[in-house]
Copies of this chain bind each other. A is one copy, B any other.
Amino acid sequence: MPTDTKERILDSAELLFSSQGIANTSLRSLTEHAQVNLAAVNYHFQSKDALVQAVLFRRVNPINQRRMELLTALGQPSIGQILDAFYRPAVEAVLAGPEGRAVARLIGRLYSEPGDLLAGQVRALMADTFRTFAESIQRALPGVPQATIIWRLHFCIGIMAHTFGAMELIEGMARGRIAYDDPEAILRQMITFASAGLRAEGESTCAAS
């Protein structure tokens, strides 16, 4: 339990935003949960919108930095290694500590939030990471057209976003047959699936027949 007002606000905002949605979370319930004064939000941050940006940036930035570190540490990486560098920082950030679920929902909903929610820095971070990984995959799969690479990398992001953003739904449908308690097992499932998808042949042939 942090003693600093600013961090208490960020922690409560992360938890409440992810569980109730941003628009459905009032600053009054937020400051009550964080046990700080109502005006503290507008004092430490300028507005509720700026608080949202701060909440997102605090989590997204370290993850993307770690992704870049892992990727550049590899020389001529295989598809599996590239995907590991992409997924691992997010999975570990999400399944570490009691606040993991909130972080997961936050990241899972990042990509499909309406309006100007992920503007500015956060969007730029994501675009940078996307470009870097797209180029790395392109080098590992020289035969695949660029448009196909782009589609498939977005599919890889969708796999992660859905795994994080729909945890309750997935657990409910699985009825105990799968669990979120083993990060390495989830990573393995994601990488195995996405690796095969990225390497799939027949971009121009119809696979539905």
Q: Which residues of A contact B (CB under 8 A)?
A: 18-24, 80-81, 83-84, 105, 108-109, 111-115, 118, 123, 126-127, 130-131, 146-148, 150-152, 154-155, 157-163, 165-166, 169-170, 172-174, 177-178, 186-200, 202-204, 206-209
Contact = CB atoms under 8 A, between A and B. Distances in A.
Closest 4 CB pairs of A and B: A158-B162, A23-B23, A112-B165, A196-B200
A189 B151 contact: yes
B115 A108 contact: no
Q: How many subunits of this chain does the assembly comprise?
A: 2
A160 B108 CA distance: 14
Given A152-B193, A155-B190, A161-B162, A114 B20 contact: yes
**Which secondary structure dominates chain A's binding surface?**
helix
B162 A188 contact: no
Contacts of A194: 155, 197
Given A20-B115, A162-B161, A162-B162, A84 B203 contact: no
Contacts of A199: 196
